[in-house]
Amino acid sequence: MLAGHPRLFAPPELELLSFNTLAERRAAFAGKESFWLEGTLRAIMEIKGCDADEAQHIMHSMEECGLTTKAFYRQMQSWLGDRILLDKTPSYALDQSVLERAEVDFENALYIHLLRHPAGMVRSFEEAKLDQIFFRYEHAFSRRELAEVIWTLSNQNIIEFLQRVPRERQHRVKFEDLLRERKR
Protein backbone atom coordinates (compact mmCIF):
# COMPACT_ATOMS: atom_id res chain seq x y z
CA MET A 1 0.00 0.00 0.00
CA LEU A 2 2.81 2.42 0.81
CA ALA A 3 4.69 1.60 -2.37
CA GLY A 4 2.01 3.30 -4.46
CA HIS A 5 3.02 6.79 -3.32
CA PRO A 6 5.55 8.40 -5.71
CA ARG A 7 7.57 10.02 -2.89
CA LEU A 8 7.97 6.80 -0.92
CA PHE A 9 10.19 3.78 -1.49
CA ALA A 10 8.92 0.74 0.43
CA PRO A 11 10.97 -2.30 -0.64
CA PRO A 12 10.41 -5.86 0.60
CA GLU A 13 11.57 -6.65 4.12
CA LEU A 14 15.14 -5.38 4.50
CA GLU A 15 16.03 -7.24 7.73
CA LEU A 16 18.82 -4.78 8.54
CA LEU A 17 18.25 -3.24 11.99
CA SER A 18 19.14 -6.41 13.91
CA PHE A 19 22.74 -6.26 12.69
CA ASN A 20 25.72 -3.95 13.06
CA THR A 21 27.27 -4.73 9.68
CA LEU A 22 26.16 -6.17 6.36
CA ALA A 23 28.72 -8.95 6.74
CA GLU A 24 27.20 -9.93 10.09
CA ARG A 25 23.77 -10.02 8.43
CA ARG A 26 25.04 -12.17 5.54
CA ALA A 27 26.60 -14.66 7.99
CA ALA A 28 23.37 -14.88 10.02
CA PHE A 29 21.30 -15.57 6.92
CA ALA A 30 23.47 -18.27 5.38
CA GLY A 31 22.17 -21.55 3.95
CA LYS A 32 18.44 -22.14 4.23
CA GLU A 33 17.95 -18.66 5.73
CA SER A 34 19.50 -16.93 2.69
CA PHE A 35 16.10 -15.87 1.32
CA TRP A 36 16.10 -13.17 4.05
CA LEU A 37 18.88 -11.45 2.07
CA GLU A 38 16.60 -10.89 -0.92
CA GLY A 39 14.89 -7.73 0.35
CA THR A 40 18.03 -5.63 0.03
CA LEU A 41 18.86 -7.15 -3.36
CA ARG A 42 15.39 -6.31 -4.66
CA ALA A 43 15.74 -2.80 -3.24
CA ILE A 44 19.08 -2.31 -5.03
CA MET A 45 17.63 -3.68 -8.28
CA GLU A 46 14.73 -1.25 -8.18
CA ILE A 47 16.73 1.80 -7.06
CA LYS A 48 19.63 1.25 -9.45
CA GLY A 49 17.61 -0.22 -12.32
CA CYS A 50 19.92 -3.21 -12.51
CA ASP A 51 19.57 -6.98 -12.73
CA ALA A 52 20.03 -9.51 -9.91
CA ASP A 53 23.68 -10.23 -10.76
CA GLU A 54 24.62 -6.55 -10.59
CA ALA A 55 22.66 -6.10 -7.34
CA GLN A 56 24.50 -9.09 -5.83
CA HIS A 57 27.83 -7.62 -6.92
CA ILE A 58 26.98 -4.25 -5.33
CA MET A 59 25.81 -5.89 -2.10
CA HIS A 60 28.78 -8.26 -1.92
CA SER A 61 31.26 -5.38 -2.30
CA MET A 62 29.55 -3.48 0.54
CA GLU A 63 29.54 -6.60 2.74
CA GLU A 64 33.23 -7.24 2.02
CA CYS A 65 34.31 -3.69 2.88
CA GLY A 66 32.61 -3.97 6.29
CA LEU A 67 29.85 -1.45 5.63
CA THR A 68 27.61 -0.90 8.64
CA THR A 69 23.88 -1.33 8.27
CA LYS A 70 23.49 2.33 9.25
CA ALA A 71 25.80 3.35 6.39
CA PHE A 72 23.84 1.10 4.02
CA TYR A 73 20.60 2.86 4.95
CA ARG A 74 22.39 6.16 4.25
CA GLN A 75 23.59 4.84 0.89
CA MET A 76 20.13 3.71 -0.15
CA GLN A 77 18.64 7.05 0.87
CA SER A 78 21.29 8.91 -1.16
CA TRP A 79 20.46 6.78 -4.22
CA LEU A 80 16.78 7.65 -3.74
CA GLY A 81 17.27 11.42 -3.74
CA ASP A 82 14.05 13.11 -2.62
CA ARG A 83 12.10 9.85 -2.21
CA ILE A 84 11.76 8.60 1.37
CA LEU A 85 13.01 5.13 2.30
CA LEU A 86 10.60 3.07 4.41
CA ASP A 87 11.74 -0.06 6.19
CA LYS A 88 8.62 -2.12 6.86
CA THR A 89 10.29 -5.27 8.22
CA PRO A 90 7.72 -6.89 10.56
CA SER A 91 10.24 -8.86 12.63
CA TYR A 92 11.63 -5.66 14.19
CA ALA A 93 8.53 -5.41 16.37
CA LEU A 94 9.38 -8.70 18.07
CA ASP A 95 12.44 -7.19 19.79
CA GLN A 96 12.41 -3.97 21.82
CA SER A 97 16.17 -3.52 21.36
CA VAL A 98 15.78 -3.52 17.57
CA LEU A 99 13.07 -0.86 17.80
CA GLU A 100 15.31 1.18 20.11
CA ARG A 101 18.14 0.89 17.62
CA ALA A 102 16.10 2.80 15.04
CA GLU A 103 15.74 5.64 17.51
CA VAL A 104 19.48 5.63 18.29
CA ASP A 105 20.74 5.25 14.71
CA PHE A 106 18.46 7.73 12.96
CA GLU A 107 17.91 11.34 13.91
CA ASN A 108 14.22 12.21 14.15
CA ALA A 109 13.07 8.96 12.57
CA LEU A 110 9.39 8.85 11.66
CA TYR A 111 7.25 5.86 12.59
CA ILE A 112 4.03 4.49 11.12
CA HIS A 113 2.19 2.09 13.40
CA LEU A 114 -0.01 0.02 11.14
CA LEU A 115 -2.75 -1.39 13.33
CA ARG A 116 -4.55 -4.47 12.11
CA HIS A 117 -7.34 -6.39 13.78
CA PRO A 118 -5.83 -9.58 15.24
CA ALA A 119 -8.35 -11.86 13.51
CA GLY A 120 -7.33 -10.57 10.08
CA MET A 121 -3.64 -10.89 10.86
CA VAL A 122 -4.05 -14.41 12.26
CA ARG A 123 -6.09 -15.49 9.23
CA SER A 124 -3.47 -14.09 6.82
CA PHE A 125 -0.65 -15.70 8.82
CA GLU A 126 -2.38 -19.08 8.70
CA GLU A 127 -3.30 -18.90 5.01
CA ALA A 128 0.22 -17.91 3.97
CA LYS A 129 1.77 -20.50 6.34
CA LEU A 130 4.10 -17.81 7.64
CA ASP A 131 5.16 -19.97 10.56
CA GLN A 132 7.39 -21.77 8.03
CA ILE A 133 9.38 -18.65 7.20
CA PHE A 134 8.60 -15.66 9.42
CA PHE A 135 9.51 -17.00 12.85
CA ARG A 136 13.06 -18.38 12.84
CA TYR A 137 13.13 -19.90 16.33
CA GLU A 138 12.08 -23.23 17.78
CA HIS A 139 8.63 -23.20 19.40
CA ALA A 140 5.81 -25.54 20.36
CA PHE A 141 2.92 -23.35 19.19
CA SER A 142 0.39 -24.27 16.56
CA ARG A 143 0.32 -21.98 13.53
CA ARG A 144 -2.68 -20.10 14.94
CA GLU A 145 -1.17 -19.80 18.43
CA LEU A 146 2.08 -18.50 16.98
CA ALA A 147 0.22 -15.87 14.96
CA GLU A 148 -1.62 -14.76 18.10
CA VAL A 149 1.61 -14.57 20.11
CA ILE A 150 3.34 -12.58 17.36
CA TRP A 151 0.42 -10.14 17.05
CA THR A 152 0.28 -9.62 20.82
CA LEU A 153 4.02 -9.28 21.40
CA SER A 154 4.55 -7.04 18.36
CA ASN A 155 1.77 -4.66 19.33
CA GLN A 156 2.85 -4.53 22.97
CA ASN A 157 6.43 -3.75 21.92
CA ILE A 158 5.36 -1.08 19.44
CA ILE A 159 3.02 0.64 21.89
CA GLU A 160 5.66 0.61 24.63
CA PHE A 161 8.34 1.87 22.25
CA LEU A 162 6.18 4.68 20.84
CA GLN A 163 5.45 5.96 24.36
CA ARG A 164 9.07 7.18 24.36
CA VAL A 165 8.89 8.77 20.89
CA PRO A 166 7.52 12.31 20.46
CA ARG A 167 3.97 12.24 19.06
CA GLU A 168 4.88 14.44 16.10
CA ARG A 169 7.17 11.65 14.80
CA GLN A 170 4.56 8.89 14.88
CA HIS A 171 1.43 8.14 12.95
CA ARG A 172 -1.12 5.39 13.50
CA VAL A 173 -3.04 3.90 10.59
CA LYS A 174 -5.72 1.22 10.76
CA PHE A 175 -5.25 -1.42 8.08
CA GLU A 176 -8.98 -1.97 7.73
CA ASP A 177 -9.54 1.78 7.18
CA LEU A 178 -7.00 1.73 4.36
CA LEU A 179 -8.83 -1.14 2.71
CA ARG A 180 -12.17 0.67 2.95
CA GLU A 181 -10.69 3.88 1.49
CA ARG A 182 -8.99 1.96 -1.30
CA LYS A 183 -12.32 0.45 -2.44
CA ARG A 184 -13.89 3.90 -2.86
Q: What confidence score (pLDDT) does residue 182 get?
A: 66
The C-alpha atoms of residue 64 and residue 123 are separated, in whole angstroms, by 41
The C-alpha atoms of residue 74 and residue 50 are separated, in whole angstroms, by 19
112: left (phi over 0), alpha (psi -120 to 50) or beta: beta
The C-alpha atoms of residue 27 and residue 129 are separated, in whole angstroms, by 26
Residue 148 pLDDT more than 90?
yes
115 three-class SS: strand
Instruction: Give the 3-state secondary structure percentages of the chain, helix then strand then coil, rounded to 5.
Output: 60, 10, 30
Q: What is the pLDDT of residues 55-81, one digit of tens each?
A: 999 999 999 999 999 999 999 999 999
Q: What is the pLDDT of residues 104-131, one digit of tens each?
A: 999 999 999 999 999 989 999 899 888 8
> Between vectors from CA 28 to CA 92 and to CA 133, what angle results, nearest 5°?
60
pLDDT class of 39 with cuts at 50, 70, 90? very high
pLDDT class of 5 with cuts at 50, 70, 90? confident
Q: Please name every residue paired with 112 in a beta bridge, in sequence order, or none if there are none.
A: 171
pTM: 0.88
The C-alpha atoms of residue 153 and residue 139 are separated, in whole angstroms, by 15
